[in-house]
């Protein structure tokens, strides 16, 4: 037979159990300390983009006097624990102690590292609530959280009243009495939420999506400024993680923000004051180019194990010199990138860009956001159709690369103005575009990788690596070549789907709905 609990947040007065509460419960019930208060050190962990939170999970590292324990709990009652074994943060899930907890997290976090989202000391006191026979009828657990980061104040005390089996009615009476106390509120936010709230944050607040709310009637310039500011926020949010090289996705998100910014500056140049886009486009190109070498090597290394597993005539272990070469080069490029992100040139760029965006005012006689969005998306769509339609079986790779860029511009334009559109239509348009983008992306990535493998093989040959390594790289290049040919042969059907009458009709609706 289950017993129910009552949860309260207590904001005012003395702690942990106010005298007023004791007085209100007397003489029917008395409050007796059950044990000495324990102080726990609690660290909540998640990926930077809150993958656990979004999956309804909370991961905590709790340490008392004994070894630290990892506790994964879910909103559906799931609970897995493991000893932390001195794990240091940040760490990829594969770096956690082996067991069910690691297995549960590996797929969920993928390439993202787990890092502290919040830290607090938690003082937990337990009290027995006794009837006139001194029989415990309920347990009261009081949890006082003290955030580690400087904050405006501690979160409200969290009180949990749990009935002893067979004494639910008495516990309910105690709960009523507690609820009537000043400063006592029923229900408590989860501890992570309570701790983050003291520093003005909330779980799940980071997203790399361009989630700005626009209205069709707002001035187009202000809509574009809102989009660009959101992109700048995302860019800046990822700088520290990129410099510290916490995981590969910080650089990915930073790079995507730069690309989106460049696209917005290109497609929306006419909406901005004269000269602004022209001033910043080369500056963001510099930033984008800085990120390319490290990201290309990241893509190589992230797919390395999968590619090595596909080898047919060579042993994957033979690729070790190639892997070491890539890792070494990546480390060098990463240091160069980190230096650039710490440079005065970079901070001058972001500071000036934020100030210029903040200073934008609506253009006189400028278009509204609905019209501008329709025009920008319509033009990008037409350009994509024209370029794609000109590609035949014999077209050079450069045409496909160029089409990939146009597809990205169209995709970004759709994302910038998504809040102006009907969601199902938007998703439908993105789905077909994404299919085409995936095909073009695979094609170009395979080409780049093949060229790199050849160039690196030449370097390694000169440095005298074993022949087996070069043969394995040849095998690898052959598989990459097969993937490239598959992608090239898929292009025609992908583009046909994108250019179909049905898909075009969706874009027409989309650009028309931007006016409403």
Partner 1 sequence: MKIVATYNIKGGVGKTAAAVNLSHLAAAGGQRVLLADLDPQAAATFLFRVRPRVKGGGTALIRGSAGLDKAIKGTDFDGLDLLPADFTFRNLDLILDTTKKPTQRLTRLLRPLRTSYDLVFLDCPPGISLLSEAVLHAADLVLAPIIPTTLSLRTLDQLTGFIGGLDGHRPALLAFCSMIDRRKRLHNEIAERLPTERDDVATTAIPALSMIERMAVQRAPVTAFAPRSAASRCYADLWAEVRARLS
Enumerate binding residues for partner 1 (CB under 8 A): 1, 3, 128, 133-136, 164-167
Give me the least distance between CB of 84 and partner 1, in Å please.
24
Give me the least distance between CB of 126 and partner 1, in Å please.
12
Cα–Cα distance between 443 and 403 in angstroms, integer? 12
Give me the least distance between CB of 171 and partner 1, in Å please.
11
Residue entry with tokens 């905590």: 60
Pair 141, 126: CB distance under 8 Å:
yes
Give me the least distance between CB of 163 and partner 1, in Å please.
8
Residue 162 or 181: which CB sits closer to partner 1?
162
Residue 33 or 166: which CB sits closer to partner 1?
166
Cα–Cα distance between 252 and 242 in angstroms, integer? 9
Taking the CA atoms of 160, 165, 168 and 169 in sequence, report the sign of the dihedral they define: negative
Cα–Cα distance between 57 and 131 in angstroms, integer? 38
Residue 361 CB neighbour total at 10 angstroms:
10
Give me the least distance between CB of 97 and partner 1, in Å please.
24
Q: Using CA atoms in the order 270, 276, 279, 285, what is the torsion angle rounded to 10 degrees?
A: -60
- DSSP structural state of residue 368: B
Q: Is 414 helix (H, G, I), strand (E, B) or coil?
A: helix
Pair 66, 44: CB distance under 8 Å:
no
* C-alpha dist (Å) from residue 314 to 232, 267, 300, 431: 46, 48, 19, 38
Closest Cα partner for 141 from 158, 163, 164, 165?
158
Residue 3 or 468: which CB sits closer to partner 1?
3
Q: Give the residues across from 120 on adjacent strands.
A: 42, 147
Residue ranges with strand state E in 328-476: none
Residue 81 or 151: which CB sits closer to partner 1?
81
Closest Cα partner for 387 from 259, 495, 241?
495
Give me the least distance between CB of 34 and partner 1, in Å please.
9
CA 348 to chain centre: 26
Residue entry with tokens 């780049």: 448
Q: Is 249 exposed, middle or buried (0-12, 13-18, 19+ CB in 10 A)?
A: buried
Give me the least distance between CB of 121 and partner 1, in Å please.
26
- Written as six digits, the tokens of 346 are 């970079």
Residue 3 or 115: which CB sits closer to partner 1?
3
Give me the least distance between CB of 131 and partner 1, in Å please.
8
Residue 153 CB neighbour total at 10 angstroms:
9
Backbone torsion region of residue 187, taken as left when φ is above 0, otherwise alpha when ψ lies between -120 and 50, otherwise beta: left
CA 439 to chain centre: 24
Residue 167 or 325: which CB sits closer to partner 1?
167
Residue 216 CB neighbour total at 10 angstroms:
21
């Amino acid at each position: 037979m289950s017993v129910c609990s009552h949860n309260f947040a207590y904001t005012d007065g003395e702690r942990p159990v106010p005298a007023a509460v004791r007085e209100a419960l007397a003489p029917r019930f008395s409050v007796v300390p059950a044990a000495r208060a324990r102080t726990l050190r609690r660290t909540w962990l998640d990926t930077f983009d809150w993958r656990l939170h979004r999956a309804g999970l909370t991961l905590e590292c709790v340490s008392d006097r004994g070894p630290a324990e990892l506790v994964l709990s879910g909103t559906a009652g799931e609970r897995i624990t493991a000893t932390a074994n001195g794990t240091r943060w940040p760490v990829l899930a594969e770096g956690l102690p082996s067991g069910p907890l690691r297995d549960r997290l590996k797929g969920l976090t993928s390439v993202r590292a787990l890092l502290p989202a919040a830290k607090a000391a938690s003082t937990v006191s337990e009290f027995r609530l006794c009837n006139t026979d001194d029989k415990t009828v309920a347990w009261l657990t009081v949890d006082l959280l003290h955030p580690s980061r400087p904050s405006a104040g501690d979160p409200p005390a969290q009180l949990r009243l749990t009935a002893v089996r067979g004494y639910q009615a008495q516990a309910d009476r105690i709960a009523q009495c507690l609820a009537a106390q000043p400063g006592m509120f029923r229900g408590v936010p989860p501890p992570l939420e309570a701790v983050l709230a003291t520093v003005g944050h909330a779980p799940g607040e980071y997203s790399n999506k361009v989630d700005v709310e626009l209205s069709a009637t707002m001035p187009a310039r202000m809509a574009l400024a809102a989009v660009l500011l959101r992109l700048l926020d995302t860019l800046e949010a990822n700088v520290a993680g990129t410099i510290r090289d916490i995981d590969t996705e910080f650089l990915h998100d930073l790079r995507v923000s730069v690309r989106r910014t460049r696209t917005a500056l290109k497609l929306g140049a006419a909406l901005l004051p004269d000269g602004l886009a022209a001033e910043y486009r080369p500056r963001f190109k510099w930033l984008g180019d800085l990120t390319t070498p490290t990201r290309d090597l990241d893509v190589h290394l992230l797919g390395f194990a999968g590619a090595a597993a596909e080898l047919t005539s060579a042993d994957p272990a033979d690729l070790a010199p190639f892997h070491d070469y890539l890792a070494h080069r990546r480390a060098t490029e990463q240091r160069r990138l980190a230096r650039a992100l710490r440079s005065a040139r970079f901070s001058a760029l972001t500071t000036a860009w934020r100030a210029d965006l903040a200073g934008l005012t609506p253009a006189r006689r400028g278009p509204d956001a609905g019209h501008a969005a329709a025009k920008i998306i319509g033009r990008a769509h037409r350009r994509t159709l024209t370029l794609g339609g000109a590609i035949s079986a014999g077209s050079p790779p450069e045409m496909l690369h160029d089409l990939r860029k146009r597809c990205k511009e169209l995709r970004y334009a759709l994302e910038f103005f998504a809040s102006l559109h009907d969601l199902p239509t938007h998703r439908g348009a993105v789905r077909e575009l994404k299919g085409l983008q995936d095909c073009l992306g695979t094609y170009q990535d395979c080409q780049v990788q093949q060229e790199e493998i050849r160039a690196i093989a030449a370097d390694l040959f000169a440095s005298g690596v074993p022949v087996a390594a070069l043969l394995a790289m040849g095998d690898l290049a052959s598989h990459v070549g097969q993937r490239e040919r598959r992608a090239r042969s898929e292009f025609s059907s992908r583009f046909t789907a994108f250019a179909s009458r049905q898909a075009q009709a969706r874009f027409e609706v989309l650009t028309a709905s931007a006016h409403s």
